[in-house]
């Protein structure tokens, strides 16, 4: 039987290295660093070559037992070297863990979305409190946004008119 590392238990299949774990007052704080290859620019899709800087993001993660989990993730900011691209820098996103402009992990967001779909606003918020998830009714309802319309959607729709006398 092979022994598992803490990365395999907390972040299976995700390119991060855990640097430390701190357990205080029922909250598990995990210090992690991204180990993924350099990201691609979201605008022009060119792979980055130069690191601009690094900073720490704080993400809420799914609870582990009765403990709330917070991930302090160190990510890199890259330069986009393509002259025609309007973006000069961009931040890497760790696939399976982080998404742009989000303060919770993609796993936690998936859980919350499922709860919101099944229960709606206030009942879902009550269940989240029982599960030790931090989510209010408005946050849960915001997760229920309509899917985006594809780029190839028709621009003009025809409507047949019909009227009985």
Q: State residue 82's pLDDT score.
A: 87
Positions of the chain with pLDDT under 50: none
CA proximity to 112, closest of 131, 93, 99, 95: 131
Alpha-carbon torsion (84, 36, 95, 71), positive or negative: negative
Q: State residue 126's pLDDT score.
A: 93
Q: State residue 14's pLDDT score.
A: 87
Q: State residue 142's pLDDT score.
A: 87
Return d(Cα 35, Cα 61) in angstroms, integer.
19
* 64-91 pLDDT per residue, tens: 888 888 999 999 999 988 888 888 888 8
Our separate counts of H helices and E strands in the chain read 4, 5
Contacts of residue 5, Cβ cutoff 8 Å, sequence gap at least 6: none
Q: State residue 74's pLDDT score.
A: 93
Q: State residue 29's pLDDT score.
A: 92
Mean pLDDT of the chain: 85
């Amino acid at each position: 039987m092979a022994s598992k590392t803490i990365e395999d238990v907390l972040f299976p299949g995700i390119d991060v290295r855990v640097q430390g774990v701190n357990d205080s007052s029922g909250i598990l704080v995990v210090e992690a660093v991204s180990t993924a290859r350099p990201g691609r620019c979201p605008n022009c899709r060119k792979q980055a070559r130069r690191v601009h800087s690094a900073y720490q993001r704080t993400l809420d993660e799914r609870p582990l037992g009765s403990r709330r989990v917070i991930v302090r993730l160190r990510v890199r900011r890259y330069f986009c070297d393509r002259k025609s691209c309007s973006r000069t820098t961009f931040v890497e996103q760790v696939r399976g863990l982080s998404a742009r402009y989000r303060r919770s992990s993609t796993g936690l967001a998936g859980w919350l979305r499922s709860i919101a779909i099944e229960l709606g606003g206030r009942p879902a918020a009550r269940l989240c409190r029982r599960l030790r998830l931090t989510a209010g009714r408005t946050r849960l309802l915001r997760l229920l946004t309509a899917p985006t319309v594809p780029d190839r959607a028709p621009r003009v729709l025809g409507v047949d008119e019909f009227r009985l006398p």
